Amino acid sequence: MRELTSPHQNERPQGTGVELIVLHAISLPAGQFESHYIDDLFMGRLDCSIHPDFESLSHLQVSAHFVVDRRGEITQFVGSDRRAWHAGVSEWQGRSGCNDFAVGIEMIGDEKRPFTQAQYRETARLCRVLMKRYPLISVDRIVGHQDIAPGRKWDPGKQWHWDKFKRSLQRIKRMDLEII
């Protein structure tokens, strides 16, 4: 696993534990799946003048705990005990501010093309590791960004097949996992 340290993070509120995983989808620019622009966005160094799609990102400070690329390779930007800035205005089961109690996983993808088998496998593996580390996270506490910000966010969207993901989670459950 590759590690980069995003400046877009801070401490979770005192006494707040990790209870939720939020799955996202990202491509920069839209429809392109290389990770270097995503790395730059989360590291606060994206040159927003190089592509028209980036103009709206010029003063954005965002991050995720993890990014899973199309090959299933994982980059960690924020330690999972810290708060990444991935959910924005959000609410889960009546509780607002999901960044406070969630881990954010971005998968490189969009609304037009299917996610890869490697992404299903490695996202499931990562979720199982997190579930082992944070016992309050259950399968029903792995949600999409659209579930915590309905009407505002679409991701991971219709291309993310939740049944397929849950089958991957079940297969991974039987494997010996190491905490990361």
Q: So what's the pLDDT on residue 164?
A: 95
Q: So what's the pLDDT on residue 172?
A: 76
Catalytic residue chosen out of the listed positions 106, 111, 122, 178: 106
Query: Cα dist. 59→13, 15, 70, 79 in Å?
Result: 24, 30, 27, 23
Contact 68, 123 (CB under 8 A): yes
Q: So what's the pLDDT on residue 43?
A: 98
Does the annotation count 178 as an active-site position? no
In the chain, the DSSP E strands lie at 2-3, 9-10, 20-26, 66-68, 74-76, 83-84, 91-92, 95-96, 102-108, 142-144
Low-confidence ranges of the chain (pLDDT < 70): 173-180
Averaged confidence pLDDT in the chain: 94
Q: So what's the pLDDT on residue 171?
A: 83
Contact 41, 84 (CB under 8 A): no
Which tens digits make up the pLDDT trace of 161-173? 999 999 999 887 6
Q: So what's the pLDDT on residue 179?
A: 43
Distance CA 121, CA 127 (A): 10
Q: Domain limits of the chain? A: 2-173
Distance CA 30, CA 52 (A): 10
CATH architecture of 2-173: 3-Layer(aba) Sandwich (3.40)
Q: So what's the pLDDT on residue 133?
A: 96
Edge-to-edge, what's the strand order for the sheet holding 102-108? 2-3, 74-76, 66-68, 102-108, 20-26, 142-144
